[in-house]
Amino acid sequence: MILKHLETFKLSNKVAANKILEISCENIYEEIVKEQIEIAKNDLGFHTFYINKQISDILIGRNLPPPIIAEIVNCPEKSNQEIIKKAKHYIESGADIIDIGCVANKIYPERVKEIVNLIRNKFNVLISVDSMEKSEILAAVDEGVDMILSLDLGNYKDLLSIPRDIPIVILPTNIKSSYFPKEPEIRVKNLFKLTQELRQEGFKKLIADPLLETPIVPGICNSLEAYFLYKKQVLKEENKILERPLFFGVSNVVELMDIDSVGINGLLASIAIELNMGILFTVEHSTKLMGGVSELKESVKLNYISKLKKTPPINHGIKIFKAKGKTSQKIPDIDKTKAIFVKKYDLGYTPDKKGYFKFYVNHYAKEIYAMFFSNDNILLKTLIGSSAEALGKKILELNLTNSLAHINYIGRELSRAELCLTLGKPFIQDNQ
């Protein structure tokens, strides 16, 4: 693959060729995006628009990589410190919009105001509010929120006073009346109806959400059909004026499956790019989703390059492999006749006279903590880093242990900790 791409980048005597290829592909992605943005700027309208040009140059629209909204779930009930930590992590992971996820059946308009200002004062980022409650939406609007999630057939008439240039996600539902249509045809019909109503009221930036649902129950295929149907219907002459960017709620799928998120994010990103989705929505609410925003971001890049180059999403230098990969080590012929077969080696546990270690992984800070205690449980030393090799060498340099068995254990645990840090996987120390 590298040899095929040699003409597209300059080799180095300091940086490995595969690393240069990755950097080169990132640069190609940025160049493609830049070109498409310039094209989009000349085609602004109901289908292509800035979210809030005063704060960000991010555009939603045709042939553009979809921005990513990352939700802070149950945000009003979290502390300011928790919100700042989560927002910072999302931004560093590649999120374009931080979403204030409100609490179902509880109303916190004043707290929503506080949070909008908190995020605004700490970060230069777009902010959305995810609520169906009039008071919370209006509170967010008063504080200059950049996007609203969501209006539907049940609440839109109560919110006709909001500024016409705020992007609004619209749903085919009536949550007030517990109305949630299942049929794709009805969902598309309702979205067209609501689009028409709000368009007549002067709203300029609408984003249609046909609702992506969980696999098996209630079923992802039915909801995907609604997206496909929407795309087909807007091709008809009578519906072209109703076409709006689509909202794709990735978290509805990835959050409710006990399957590693990276592959799901990759596949959903390919569907999103193929169908020209306007915006993606995700969360990292549960432990299993740590790193999901960055997975989705990289998946968007890979699939977007593929679409513009008109090839499958493979061999572009951008890889989102975590558990698996494409390269393998060549194994030489091995003479096993005199080999030592080690099936089990357990001589029991002998405490190190110098003390013991506890290891922790902080995914938000991207740090590994190696804490050395005496055998009477007094903390003697704390080492913080992100490299297993560096931490292991520092432990040896400080002469914290000279037990070979303990050194073997420390190396093994530090290696696991670094792997968990890289993969976003929970780390629990093996005390055996």
**Structure tokens belonging to residue 337:** 């006749």
Write down the pLDDT at residue 152.
Answer: 98
Whole-number Å distance between alpha carbons of 152 and 180: 11
Helices assigned H by DSSP within 331-426: 388-397, 404-423
Q: Say if strands 279-283 and 356-362 run parallel, antiparallel, or are unpaired.
A: unpaired
**How does residue 157 score in pLDDT terms, banded at 50, 70 and 90?**
very high
Name the residue ranges covered by the structural domains of the chain.
Answer: 3-309, 335-432
- pTM of the shown model: 0.91
Helix (H) or strand (E) holding 279: strand 279-283
* Tens-digit pLDDT profile for residues 176-226: 999 999 999 999 999 999 999 999 999 999 999 999 999 999 999 999 999
Helix (H) or strand (E) holding 29: helix 17-41
Fold topology of 3-309: TIM Barrel (3.20.20)
CA distances for 90 relative to 85, 87, 254, 341, angstroms: 9, 5, 17, 47
Cβ-based neighbours of 259, under 8 Å, separated by 6 or more: none
* Tens-digit pLDDT profile for residues 9-27: 778 888 887 777 777 788 8
How many CA atoms within 13 Å lie on the side-chain side of 318?
A: 23
Closest C-alpha among 317, 320, 293, 316 to residue 67? 293
**How does residue 317 score in pLDDT terms, banded at 50, 70 and 90?**
confident
432 pLDDT above the threshold of 80: no
